[in-house]
């Protein structure tokens, strides 16, 4: 518990020091030792950010919608495959086929149906 608190305050102190050093560097115009050490890798980060900016510039409303459609299509295809497999397993059982026919309304309707409507259908 105390270790976490101490690490937090040490990190906070380093953040304040970095801000003060950067403020002094901007005011004086002379780079600090840390800035001189990091200047060798500036071109690498510049290239990374330029590539990211170029990639994000291609994303507008139309490409966003197209990417969304593509993702939803692939998700729905996988869901449909699972549904087809479950349905095949369900139809493999005799009780499952009978239940599916009852749900679809393909079962036999007796004269003693549950409702008046079913009795009228059975009479015709």
* Alpha-carbon separation of residue 34 from 20, 31, 91 (angstroms): 13, 8, 71
Give domain status of residue 42, yes or no. yes
The total number of structural domains in the chain stands at 1
Name the residue range of residue 18's domain. 1-58
Q: pLDDT tens for residues 45-80?
A: 999 999 999 988 888 888 889 999 999 999 999 999
Give domain status of residue 72, yes or no. no
Give domain status of residue 18, yes or no. yes
Give domain status of residue 3, yes or no. yes
Give domain status of residue 29, yes or no. yes
Give domain status of residue 76, yes or no. no
Comparing CA positions, the residue from 56, 21, 51 lying closest to residue 38 is 21
Which range of 8-17, 61-70, 81-90 scores highest in mean pLDDT? It is 8-17
Q: pLDDT tens for residues 13-26?
A: 999 999 998 899 89
Give domain status of residue 46, yes or no. yes
Would you give the distance in Å from CA 34 to the centre of its chain? Answer: 39
Give domain status of residue 14, yes or no. yes
pTM: 0.38
């Amino acid at each position: 518990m105390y270790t976490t608190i101490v690490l937090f305050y040490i990190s906070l102190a380093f953040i304040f020091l970095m801000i003060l050093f950067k403020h002094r560097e901007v005011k004086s115009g002379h780079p600090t030792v840390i800035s001189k050490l990091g200047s060798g890798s500036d071109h690498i980060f510049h290239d990374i950010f330029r590539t990211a900016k170029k990639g994000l510039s291609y994303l507008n409303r139309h490409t966003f919608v197209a990417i969304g459609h593509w993702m939803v299509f692939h998700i729905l295809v996988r869901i449909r495959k699972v549904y087809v497999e479950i349905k095949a397993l369900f139809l493999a059982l005799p009780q499952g086929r009978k239940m599916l026919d009852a749900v679809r309304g393909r079962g036999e309707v007796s004269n003693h149906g549950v409702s008046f409507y079913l009795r009228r259908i059975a009479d015709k």
